[in-house]
Amino acid sequence: MKEKMRAVIYARVSTTDQKPENQIRELEAYAAKQGWEVVQTIKDKISGTKQAKDRAGLSKVLEMAHQSKFDVLLFWSLDRLSREGTRETLGYLQTLTERGVKWHSYTEEYLSSLGAFADVVISILSTLAKQERIRISERTKAGLSRARKEGKAIGRPKGKRSAKTADRIRLVKQLRKEGQSFGKIGKQLGITKQGAAQLFAMNPSK
């Protein structure tokens, strides 16, 4: 007799006044229909833009996957899993796949590693992630170009910190001046929010 697939349900809501129970009921019913055994339901009440290390629920999902404690992750939709961006979201899905865990989006059944088109789905997401990296690179270059046009020296005098770091510091300061948050700046530069804040606190000339 074929063993039941062990499923983990992951449900996320953004604020404390939102309730995940409706999601969970439908996800449990779907799992039962598939003949899966739900070994745990994991919830997060936090913005989907937060990294896994800042989300206790998602961190637990990845830890359980590493320990081979379940076979398939079921979630409501891809943006319930993560809203960090295509690259980061793809990274979570690839981590699950590498650890032998399947994944399935309840409301987007085409986003699933269970069917015959799993490789196609991963390929499409990888292409989107590549385009996102290109867009971030273009925005960063545009920011540096704007800083140069405004007369801000970009370069490193002898004995000073590297030009790349100095450029990043100037760009962070410019983007902050334009009202962007450290989180958004970090995404553009491919670093953490904390990293962007640290660059902002630095003097580019030192």
* Spatial distance between the Cα atoms of 104 and 100, rounded to a whole number of angstroms: 14
* Spatial distance between the Cα atoms of 90 and 22, rounded to a whole number of angstroms: 26
* Spatial distance between the Cα atoms of 57 and 63, rounded to a whole number of angstroms: 10
Q: Where are the beta strands (DSSP E) in the chain?
A: 6-13, 37-45, 72-75, 102-105
- Tell which residue, 185, 89, 188, has the closest CA to residue 200: 185
* Spatial distance between the Cα atoms of 120 and 156, rounded to a whole number of angstroms: 46
Q: Which of 14, 47, 59, 112 is flagged as catalytic?
A: 14
Buried b (16+ CB within 10 A) or exposed e, 104-134: bbbeeeebbbeeeeeeebeeebeeebeebee
Q: Is 14 designated active site?
A: yes
Half-sphere exposure in the Cβ direction for 80 (13 Å, CA): 25
**Residue 34, token pair as written in the block:** 């598939």
β-bridge partners, 29: none
Active-site positions read: 14
